[in-house]
Structure 1
Amino acid sequence: MSLRHLDALLKPRSVALVGASVRAGSVGALLLGKLTDGRFAGEVWLVNPRGALDADRAVFRDIRALPAAPDLALIAAPGRHVPGILRDLGRRGGKAAVIFADDLGGGDAERHLKARRLVARIARRYGLRILGPASVGLQSPGLGLDASLSPTAAVAGDLAFVTQSAAVASAAVDWAASRRIGFSYAVTLGEMTDIDFGLMLDWLALDEGTRAILLHIERVKDARLFMSAARAAARAKPVIVLKTGRRSATARTAHAYSGAVTEEAYDAAFRRAGMLRVGDLDELFEATATLAGRRQPVGDRLAILANGGGLGVLAADTLLDLGGRLAAIEPGTQGRQTWTRGNPLDVTSDAPAERYAEAAQALLAAPTVDALLAVHAPSPFVPATAPAQALIDAAAASRKPVLASWVGGATQEAARHLFVEAGMPNYDTPRQAVRGFMHLVNFRRNREILMQTPASQPETFTIDVKRARTVLQLARRAGRVELTPEESLAVLQAAAIATAPTFRPVEGTAYDLVAALREDPVFGPLLVFGRGGLVGRRLDDRALALPPLNMALARDVMTRTRVWRLLQGGDGQPAAALDALALTLIKVAQIAVDLPEIESLRIDPLRVDARAAVAMAARIWLAPSEQAASRLAIRPYPKELESTHALPDGRTFLLRPMRPEDEPLIIEMTDRMDREDVRMRFFAPLPRLSHEMAARLTQLDYDRQMALIALGGDADGRRHAWGVVRIAADPDNDSAEFAVAVRSDMKGHGMGSFLMNHIIAYARTRGLKTVMGYVLSENEPMLSLSRRLGFVPLRVPDDPTVQKVSLRL
Structure 2
Amino acid sequence: MLSSIFEPESVAVIGASNNESKWGGRILKNLLSGFQGKIYPVNPNENIIQGLDSYPSVLDIPGTVELGVIIVPYKYVISIAEECGKKGVKGLVVVSAGFSESGNEGAELELVSIARKYGMRMIGPNTLGIVNERARLNASIIGRLPHPGSISFITQSGSLGLALAEWTIATELGLSKVISTGNKAETDDVDLIEYLSSDPSTGVVAMYIEGIKRGRKFLDAARNIKKPIVAIKTGRSKRGAKAVFSHTGSIAGSDEVYSAAFRQAGILRVDTIDELFDAALAFSCQPLPPGNNVAIFSNGGGASIVAADECEKQGINIADLTEETKEKIKKVIPEFASVSNPIDTAGTVSFKIYNDSIKALHDDPNVDAIIVIYVHTMISNAMPPAEAVVEMKQKCDKETGKKPIIACWMGGMGTEEGVDLLNSGCIPNYPVPERAVKALSALIKHREFLEKVKTGDAKAGKCL
TM-score (norm 2): 0.92
Match of 1:291 in 2: 283
Deviation at 1:350, TM superposition (A): 2.6
Deviation at 1:169, TM superposition (A): 1.6
Check the 8 A contact 1:276/1:446 in 2, yes or no. no
Secondary structure at 1:142 match in 2: coil
Deviation at 1:136, TM superposition (A): 0.6
2-structure distance, mates of 1:352, 1:268: 46
Equivalent residue runs for 1:83-122 within 5 Å: 83-104=78-99, 109-110=102-103, 112-122=104-114
Deviation at 1:352, TM superposition (A): 1.8
Equivalent residue runs for 1:648-727 within 5 Å: none
Match of 2:234 in 1: 244
Among candidates 23, 32, 55, match of residue 60 of structure 1: 55
Identity %: 30
Check the 8 A contact 1:17/1:76 in 2, yes or no. yes
2-structure distance, mates of 1:303, 1:157: 28
Are 1:185 and 2:177 matched, yes or no?
yes
Are 1:11 and 2:25 matched, yes or no?
no
Among candidates 411, 415, 419, match of residue 414 of structure 2: 411
Among candidates 43, 51, 61, match of residue 46 of structure 2: 51
Equivalent residue runs for 1:268-667 within 5 Å: 268-334=260-326, 335=328, 336-337=331-332, 338=335, 339-398=337-396, 399-450=402-453
- Which structure's residues are more often strand, by fraction? 1
Q: Which moved more, 1:392-401 or 1:303-312?
A: 392-401
Query: What are the Cα deviations for residues 555-576 of structure 1, in whole angstroms up to 9, with x where unaligned?
Result: xxxxxxxxxxxxxxxxxxxxxx
Amino acid across the alignment from 1:246: R
Equivalent residue runs for 1:207-218 within 5 Å: 207-218=199-210
Unaligned runs of 5+ in 1: 452-694, 698-809
2-structure distance, mates of 1:330, 1:158: 36
Q: Considering only CA atoms, is the larger Rg found in Structure 1 or Structure 2?
A: 1
Check the 8 A contact 1:137/1:187 in 2, yes or no. yes
Match of 2:215 in 1: 223
2-structure distance, mates of 1:281, 1:23: 33
Check the 8 A contact 2:30/2:141 in 1, yes or no. no
Query: What are the Cα deviations for residues 131-163 of structure 1, in whole angstroms up to 9, with x where unaligned?
Result: 111101110000111111123422222221111
Query: What are the Cα deviations for residues 103-134 of structure 1, in whole angstroms up to 9, with x where unaligned?
Result: 259xx945x32221210111121111111111
Among candidates 205, 213, 217, match of residue 197 of structure 2: 205
1-structure distance, mates of 2:87, 2:456: 43
Deviation at 1:696, TM superposition (A): 7.2
2-structure distance, mates of 1:246, 1:104: 25
Check the 8 A contact 2:232/2:273 in 1, yes or no. yes
Secondary structure at 1:94 match in 2: coil
Deviation at 1:53, TM superposition (A): 3.3
Query: What are the Cα deviations for residues 683-722 of structure 1, in whole angstroms up to 9, with x where unaligned?
Result: xxxxxxxxxxxx779xxxxxxxxxxxxxxxxxxxxxxxxx
2-structure distance, mates of 1:16, 1:53: 14
2-structure distance, mates of 1:267, 1:302: 27
Match of 1:520 in 2: none
Structure 1's 295 and 175: CA in aligned 2 closer, same or farther, altered over 3 A?
farther
Deviation at 1:447, TM superposition (A): 2.7
2-structure distance, mates of 1:424, 1:305: 15
Deviation at 1:416, TM superposition (A): 1.1
Secondary structure at 2:414 match in 1: helix
Check the 8 A contact 1:153/1:173 in 2, yes or no. no
Secondary structure at 2:172 match in 1: coil
Are 1:172 and 2:164 matched, yes or no?
yes
Check the 8 A contact 2:368/2:403 in 1, yes or no. yes
Amino acid across the alignment from 1:102: A
Secondary structure at 2:93 match in 1: strand
Amino acid across the alignment from 1:421: S
Deviation at 1:448, TM superposition (A): 2.2
Check the 8 A contact 1:181/1:292 in 2, yes or no. no
Q: What is the root-mean-square deviation in Å for CA atoms of aligned residues?
A: 1.9
2-structure distance, mates of 1:167, 1:187: 12
Amino acid across the alignment from 1:347: T
Deviation at 1:321, TM superposition (A): 1.0
Deviation at 1:19, TM superposition (A): 0.8
Deviation at 1:6, TM superposition (A): 0.9
Amino acid across the alignment from 2:23: V
2-structure distance, mates of 1:360, 1:244: 39
Amino acid across the alignment from 2:269: R
Match of 1:791 in 2: none
Greater relative CO (CA pairs within 8 A, separation 6+):
2
Query: What are the Cα deviations for residues 472-506 of structure 1, in whole angstroms up to 9, with x where unaligned?
Result: xxxxxxxxxxxxxxxxxxxxxxxxxxxxxxxxxxx
Query: What are the Cα deviations for residues 152-185 of structure 1, in whole angstroms up to 9, with x where unaligned?
Result: 4222222211110113322332333334332222
Amino acid across the alignment from 1:349: G
The runs of at least 4 aligned residues of structure 1 exceeding 4 Å deviation read none
Check the 8 A contact 1:356/1:387 in 2, yes or no. yes
Check the 8 A contact 1:150/1:169 in 2, yes or no. no
Deviation at 1:252, TM superposition (A): 2.2
1-structure distance, mates of 2:11, 2:193: 24
Equivalent residue runs for 1:251-266 within 5 Å: 251-257=241-247, 258-266=250-258
Check the 8 A contact 2:373/2:409 in 1, yes or no. yes
Match of 2:460 in 1: none
Deviation at 1:247, TM superposition (A): 2.2
Secondary structure at 1:201 match in 2: helix
TM-score (norm 1): 0.53
1-structure distance, mates of 2:68, 2:230: 30
Deviation at 1:59, TM superposition (A): 0.9
Amino acid across the alignment from 1:96: G
Match of 1:195 in 2: 187
Check the 8 A contact 2:58/2:84 in 1, yes or no. yes
Structure 1's 51 and 152: CA in aligned 2 closer, same or farther, altered over 3 A?
closer
2-structure distance, mates of 1:80, 1:188: 22
Check the 8 A contact 2:18/2:50 in 1, yes or no. no
Secondary structure at 1:343 match in 2: coil
Number of corresponding residues: 444
Unaligned runs of 5+ in 2: 397-401, 458-464
1-structure distance, mates of 2:309, 2:49: 63
Check the 8 A contact 1:356/1:390 in 2, yes or no. yes
2-structure distance, mates of 1:14, 1:367: 54
